[in-house]
Amino acid sequence: MIINFETLRYFEFTPVLFLYCLLGLLMGSFLNVVIYRLPEMIVIDWRQQARDFLDLESQKEKSISLCMPRSHCRQCLKTIRFWENIPVLSWLLLKGKCSHCKIAISIRYPFVEIMTAGFSVLIGGVYGLTAEGVLILIITYYLIVIALIDFDHQIIPDCLVLPLLWLILIAASVGYLNTPSGAILGAVAGYLSLWGIYWVYKICRNQEGLGHGDFKLMAVFGALLGAPMLVSMIALSASLGLLIALPMLLKKADFQQAIPFGPAIIISGWVHLLVSEPFKF
């Protein structure tokens, strides 16, 4: 792999990269909240919709949003103070444990923060402080949340993937990321590619092999990267999906277990983004 150093021209501007890194750490902390709370908010909403549809008496659900209640320990419910919520640093100072009940805090929290900061710095180094850089940054933050929610719960929420698709299409309509025709055709081709695989599998095996959220996620990458990249992207996604699925299947010895395909699509899409303009890796 040959790196085009001209592409990394912005890395010499330390203030710009520091800004991207700081933004990435702060956003990583927020993304952890979204990854944990959004699925619970969706389940609460589903239950309420089911009661309304069945004309059942409403039940009082606990109030939860991305902002309220304040962050707290899952075990002892102690509110996390501001100095205990500094990205990465607080986890290190607390030695990965709650300051009150000493239960272990998952290493995934600082991992997400570091990963988000790393992607932010990479995007900042390539794009600098530009509108296209901001768009790629927003898309990346969405994809991190989608990948981890799908990994945890095997769902790709419409409230995440549909706004992301519309963002890319609107950006393309004003001259960013892709051409309008390329984005529209890519989105259609991306959706239909997995939709077609879904129906072939269902007819042959009489069972569903893909979730509808995967179709929409592939439409997102079709709109972003264009239709010509979809064939290689699907092939890489399938290979990555197998690598993700194999340890999970062997561990539980249940070959009917639902396996998240979203993370494989997202990793494959990011690899293809890295070899496209303007990264030129």
Domain boundaries, the chain: 7-129, 130-281
Cα→Cα distances 232→134, 192, 266, Å: 27, 15, 13
List, in sequence order, every residue forming a beta bridge with 104; answer none if it has no partner: 97
Q: Is the pLDDT confidence value at 24 over 70? A: yes
Q: Per-residue pLDDT tens for 131-171?
A: 998 999 999 999 999 999 999 999 999 999 999 999 999 99
Across the chain, mean pLDDT equals 86
Report the predicted TM-score, pTM, of the whole model to 2 decimal places: 0.89
List, in sequence order, every residue forming a beta bridge with 223; answer none if it has no partner: none
Q: Per-residue pLDDT tens for 38-87?
A: 999 998 888 888 888 887 877 777 778 888 888 888 788 788 888 888 89
For residue 157 the two structure tokens come to 């929420």
Q: Per-residue pLDDT tens for 203-251?
A: 888 877 788 899 999 999 999 999 999 999 999 999 998 887 777 666 6
On whether the CB atoms of residues 42 and 157 are closer than 8 A, the answer is yes
The sign of the CA dihedral 68, 70, 71, 76 is negative
d(CA 260, CA 156): 9
For residue 133 the two structure tokens come to 């850089």
C-alpha distance across the termini of the chain, in Å:
7
Burial of 188 (0-12, 13-18, 19+ CB in 10 A): middle
Beta-carbon count within 10 A of 246 CB: 11
Residue 5's pLDDT is 44
> For the chain, how big is the Rg over CA atoms in Å?
21
Q: Which residue has the tokens 């290493």?
A: 107
Q: Is the pLDDT confidence value at 12 over 60? A: no
Predicted confidence band at 14 (pLDDT cuts at 50, 70, 90)?
low
